[in-house]
Amino acid sequence: MKAAALLAGLLMAVAAAAQTPPSPAELLAASPAGDWREVPAEQLLRLQLPAGPVWIELAPEFAPYHAANLLKLVQAGWFDGLSINRVQDNYVVQWGDPAAGSATARPYPEGVLKLISAELRRSARGLAFTALPDPDSYAAEVGHSAQGLPMARESDTGMAWLAHCYGMVGAGRDEGPDSGNAAELYVVIGHAPRHLDRNVTLLGRVLEGMERLSSLPRGSGALGFYEQPLQRVPVVTLSRALDLKPEQRVRFQVLRPGSPTWSAWTEARRHRRES
């Protein structure tokens, strides 16, 4: 690990001397193991679509009650056989029970909460935060949490919250802020809808398979809902990685915010050469 760190350092030094900074891909290839965090299997979900899997990591640091409720739904297989019902261009993909709210709605398993108070912000105290130097139109400070999630912080109030960036997973709700329970989920597939920050609960993000959501046919109904039931995209299963067969499991590692590779990588992305 030390040798790898040394190699990464050397690579940057050599590149600096040659006036050609290493590319983001070169930095990742040379990164030491210690710059990476293993995603815990108990927070890792697999959304199985007909086209393949989408892997999601939960964010219990920010939405503990929503994450816990979602895990109960997932462990009970509650989402299996439901569907993606809404794909709104430059906005969100959303899945859940298309019959929600009607007489034929799928009942919740024992122990699942029907409504959870929105988890829109929390105290920033004790929360790791790797700041970005860039200005932001929506928050005083922006950067990343320990998990590498896009995060905003405000010293006036001492509060922190997750930001609605591409690939973030949220809990759909009705009009009231406390009207969701993580049985209806959405993923951001367009320009970051930051006006939703502190307005709707975010509870995780997509790690892999994002293109299986972003390339889905758009719905032609209001808010991008599919107008015909047959247009809906089946949710084959939504499972915890822990509950998958060993051969179906995938391990993920995510770059640690603030690590040497992270710092060099974000800087390389800021001044990128590739088109």
Where along the sequence are the contacts to a second copy (CB under 8 A)?
Answer: 87, 89-90, 134-137, 165-167, 172-173, 190-192, 195, 200, 210-211, 214-218, 223, 272, 274-275
Measured between alpha carbons, how far is 189 from 88 in angstroms, rounded to an integer?
A: 9
Measured between alpha carbons, how far is 93 from 90 in angstroms, rounded to an integer?
A: 10
CB of 141 to a second copy, least distance (A): 13
Measured between alpha carbons, how far is 21 from 267 in angstroms, rounded to an integer?
A: 10
Using DSSP's 3-state secondary structure scheme, residue 96 falls into strand
| The pairing of beta strand 237-240 with beta strand 92-96 | unpaired
Locate 255 and state its tokens.
Answer: 């770059």
CB of 215 to a second copy, least distance (A): 5
Give the largest CA-CA distance in the chain: 69
| Beta carbon nearer to a second copy, 249 or 272 | 272
CB of 241 to a second copy, least distance (A): 23
In order of 12, 27, 48, 69, 264, the CA distances from 6 in angstroms are: 10, 12, 40, 44, 14
Measured between alpha carbons, how far is 166 from 211 in angstroms, rounded to an integer?
A: 11
CB of 178 to a second copy, least distance (A): 15
| Beta carbon nearer to a second copy, 4 or 252 | 252
DSSP, res 172:
-
CB of 135 to a second copy, least distance (A): 5
| Beta carbon nearer to a second copy, 67 or 187 | 187
| Beta carbon nearer to a second copy, 193 or 257 | 193
CB of 246 to a second copy, least distance (A): 27
| Beta carbon nearer to a second copy, 9 or 166 | 166
The answer to whether the CB of 22 falls within 8 A of the CB of 255 is no
Map tokens 């299996």 to a residue: 80
CB of 243 to a second copy, least distance (A): 28
| Beta carbon nearer to a second copy, 191 or 249 | 191
| Beta carbon nearer to a second copy, 102 or 275 | 275
Measured between alpha carbons, how far is 275 from 258 in angstroms, rounded to an integer?
A: 26
Beta pairing partners, 202:
170
φ, ψ of residue 58 to 5 degrees: the values are -75, 165
